[in-house]
Amino acid sequence: MTSTPRAARTRKTPEERRTEILQAAARLALERGLERTTMQLVADELGVRPGLIGHYFATVDDLLCEAFARAVSGERDALLPPAEAGLPPVRRLSRLLHRLDGEDFVDLGRLWLNARHLSRYRPNLRRVVAEQEAIMRDTLTAVIEDGVRAGDFVSDDALGACLVILVAIDGLGAYANDEPLFTHPALEALVFTTAERELGLAPGTLRDSESDSDSD
């Protein structure tokens, strides 16, 4: 009687394993919240021993800080894809705002609320949250500056306009945990109208521009 030989298991490199752990932790943080994401939970998700997680991350705090940074970095790339850097600034900003309005970013809004709350008690997380906020400010400010140079936007303070737009986005994000989601006609176009006002655009310019589903 012959038996079928087992396929040899491919051993992951340390880089691959670390990435796998971070991806799982980021996914669990999005689904369950940072404070409920433990090394044991990540290990169970991956089907490995908790000691393996501890081999790559000395504390759960280290793991969650990197997982949060990974999740929001992915969010930023999805909102403003590097591949779209050559598009006109009006279209880039319009696409960003339309994407934020989609279901895909509801959990990320909750994650931001979660991280900002927990960062009050966790210095390392507070530092990472501040770093990610600064990167987003720089990224959006650069889009606005491109628009000003192109003559599409009117602003003598690109950073100031960026801050007002982000405050409007974060303000709406404060409702992310509502079930059912709180809505009101005054809120439906708030971010669009705020951005249009700050950048000297005619009403409807950003909201009525090509949405993310439109082809180039």
Residue 171 pLDDT > 90, yes or no? Answer: no
pLDDT digits (tens, 9 = 90+) for 156-169: 999 999 999 999 99
Task: Give the pLDDT score at 212.
Answer: 42
H/E stretch holding 189: none
pLDDT of residue 8: 47
112-136 tens-digit pLDDT: 989 999 999 999 999 999 999 999 9
Q: How far is it, in rounded angstroms, from Cα 72 to Cα 116?
A: 13
pLDDT band at 215 (very low <50, low <70, confident <90, very high): very low
What burial class does residue 118 get, using C-beta atoms within 10 Å of its C-beta: 0-12 exposed, 13-18 middle, 19+ buried?
middle
Average confidence (pLDDT) over 56-60: 93
Instruction: Round to whole Å and give the CA distance between 60 and 57.
Output: 7
Q: Mean per-residue pLDDT for 132-143?
A: 96
- Distances in Å between the Cα of 202 and the Cα atoms of 161, 162, 167, 197, 208 are 16, 18, 21, 8, 11
- pLDDT of 108 > 90? The answer is no
Q: Is the pLDDT of residue 86 over 50?
A: yes
Once rounded to an integer, what is the mean pLDDT over residues 188-199? Answer: 94
When pLDDT is averaged across residues 108-115 and rounded to a whole number, the result is 88
Q: Evaluate if residue 104 carries a pLDDT over 80.
A: no
Q: Residue 24 has which token pair?
A: 């799982």
pLDDT at position 100, please? 86
**Two tokens, residue 88:** 């006109």
Q: Model pTM?
A: 0.83
91 compared with 185, residue with greater pLDDT = 91
Per-residue pLDDT at 185 exceeds 90: no
Average pLDDT, the chain: 88
